[in-house]
Structure 1
Amino acid sequence: MERLQKVLAKAGIASRRHSEKIIAAGRVKVNGQVVTKPGTVVNCEQDIIEVDNQRLLRSEEKVYLLLNKPTGYVTTLRDPQGRKKIIDLVREVPQRVYPVGRLDYDTEGLLLMTNDGDLAHALTHPRYGVEKTYLVKIFGLPKPHKLKSLRQGIRLEDGMTAPAQVKLVSRLNGNALLEIKIREGRKRQIRRMCEAIGHPVMRLTRTHVDFLDLEGVKLGTYRFLTSEEIDRLKKKTEGIKPDKKKVRMGVKNGIRREERTDRSANKMRGKKISERKGY
């Protein structure tokens, strides 16, 4: 017997937190009855569980995809406005997969998709501090003190951001190309950070999630993760506790957050990012 939101997460429907919202919205049925209480205990071997009128399959094979998301696609699986969805790009995958985190409609780049709810939850939970790397083309040339404020943490409407790694990659016709590495996942965080220093984003691409990159994956296509990559991701998240030397818990303006205090940066690998096509 397990709580309903945990069963949904294990089935890859969504993270436990988002599964609670799905249940509360009345989108889940147990044995034909709508359930809106997230803490409901179910027997996943005997009870018939449906999400959006689709029956939850038991013991479905776990799959792990790395998608190079184009702009013009929403990360949600349903869209009232009828816009293109990322699920349209993986129609031939028989399993029902879900995005690990989100990328904005106007953002492109690396997006993981899976039906492994436990791994998806771990990769998006702030306690694990999974690093995401972005190439960010912004309007104008920021002064050094503005880049310093991004590195140290900047105040947004939902509180201070954690320290970030920020590097000026190149100057492009009066504008700038930055590489930004963060370990948070707030809504439109990179865009809001850049707007806060007065340099709105022109183009935004996620290039890495931890050690994973877009090499060999064309825009709008995907590949399956290798068994070695899957094992490596799981080892990074299973049973890990926050490093007290690197993570400080705090409450600021009523918002609970985890922020890194280690500001060390790794050297860039490979050829210069500014040479990438399109920047």
Structure 2
Amino acid sequence: MSELGLCSRREADEWIAKGWVRVDGKVVSELGTKVTPSQKVTVERQAAAEQARRVTILINKPVGYVSGQAEDGYQPAVVLIKPENRWEEDRSPERFDRNHLRSLVPAGRLDIDSVGLLVLTQDGRVAKQLIGENTNVDKEYLVRVEYTKPGRLPDSELQKLNHGLWMDGKPLLPAKVRWQNDDQLSFTLREGKKRQIRRMCEMVGLRVVGLKRVRIGRVKLGNLPEGQWRYLSPDERF
């Protein structure tokens, strides 16, 4: 079901437990049931209706908030999602409901010292698209840096940031890295190892002094103010 793009694996488990999944017309109630490619998997309308009610929220995360669970005394970004922090220019017709905070998980993380676009979703399909093993959704960051050596970063080192660096014993996927202005780089990545950009910069003698995620796929941070949030609109796709 997950491979067919019907739902996430977690949602599939929930739907099977509720009797909403059929194989060749027969209800499947046992998790892990084997299905052959020739068999037809269908789901009840209740599943689609429940999935349609699940929301995805975009927030401009400030420094000092963690993406997921609270840790080391720092609050999670989800605490900012309350009516008074909703962006007044949000064009989504969705009305805020406390149920929108249930099972809301980050689809990709930003470390505590970084700001910018953070996606929180109840929809397993969105989470899989953004952080699944085979994701091809790129993410763009603006990174303010200082060169820790005399002079300016050589072009050869900039090329290494684009392709050629290794991390955790494996080569990094090709990236798109270019100068945005004299002290700011634009990074576009299709992977997200822990503190990857900061570690990449350290490898070529750069120190990161500011990092902001400005785009995930086709969805941009835009003018969303820091600390405020909005719903992903029905017509938006990553």
Q: Which TM-score applies when normalising by structure 1?
A: 0.60
AA in 1 matched with 2:227: G
Gaps of 5+ in 1: 12-39, 48-57, 234-279
Going from structure 1 to structure 2, the CA distance change for 1:166 and 1:7 (only over 3 Å counts) comes to: closer
Task: Show the counterpart of 2:24.
Answer: none
Shift of 1:113: 1.1
User: Is the aligned partner of 1:45 residue 2:18?
Assistant: yes
What is the DSSP-based 3-state SS (H/G/I as helix, E as strand, rest coil) of the residue aligned with 1:74?
coil
Shift of 1:138: 1.0
Residue identity over aligned pairs, in percent, reads 33
Q: Distance in 1 between matches of 2:116 and 2:210?
A: 11
Q: Distance in 2 between matches of 1:188 and 1:132?
A: 14
Gaps of 5+ in 2: 20-28, 30-46, 84-96
User: Is the aligned partner of 1:127 residue 2:119?
Assistant: no
User: Is the aligned partner of 1:228 residue 2:235?
Assistant: yes
Task: Show the counterpart of 1:9.
Answer: 10
AA in 1 matched with 2:11: K
1:1-279 paired onto structure 2 within 5 Å = 9-10=10-11, 43-45=16-18, 59=50, 61-79=53-71, 81-92=72-83, 93-94=97-98, 95=100, 96=102, 97-140=104-147, 141-171=152-182, 176-229=183-236, 232-233=237-238
Going from structure 1 to structure 2, the CA distance change for 1:125 and 1:220 (only over 3 Å counts) comes to: same
Going from structure 1 to structure 2, the CA distance change for 1:100 and 1:151 (only over 3 Å counts) comes to: same
Q: Distance in 2 between matches of 1:7 and 1:143?
A: 44
AA in 2 matched with 1:188: R
Structure 1 or 2, whichever has the larger Rg, is 2
Shift of 1:91: 4.0
Q: Distance in 2 between matches of 1:206 and 1:129?
A: 17
Q: Distance in 2 between matches of 1:41 and 1:119?
A: 17
Aligned residues: 185
Shift of 1:9: 3.1
Q: Deviations 1:179-219 (Å, cap 9, x if unpaired)? A: 01011111111111101111121100001101111223100
Going from structure 1 to structure 2, the CA distance change for 1:45 and 1:137 (only over 3 Å counts) comes to: same
Of the structure 1 ranges 125-134 and 179-188, higher mean CA displacement relative to structure 2 is found in 125-134
| Larger relative contact order (Cα-Cα within 8 Å, sequence gap ≥ 6) | 2
Shift of 1:44: 2.6
Contact kept in structure 2, 1:191 and 1:201, CA below 8 Å: yes
RMSD of aligned C-alpha atoms? 2.6
Q: Which TM-score applies when normalising by structure 2?
A: 0.70
Contact kept in structure 2, 1:77 and 1:87, CA below 8 Å: no
Contact kept in structure 1, 2:162 and 2:176, CA below 8 Å: yes
Shift of 1:82: 2.1
Shift of 1:129: 1.5
Going from structure 1 to structure 2, the CA distance change for 1:146 and 1:99 (only over 3 Å counts) comes to: same
Contact kept in structure 1, 2:214 and 2:222, CA below 8 Å: no
AA in 1 matched with 2:235: E
What is the DSSP-based 3-state SS (H/G/I as helix, E as strand, rest coil) of the residue aligned with 2:197?
helix
Shift of 1:77: 2.4
Shift of 1:10: 2.4
Contact kept in structure 2, 1:9 and 1:116, CA below 8 Å: no
Contact kept in structure 2, 1:126 and 1:184, CA below 8 Å: no
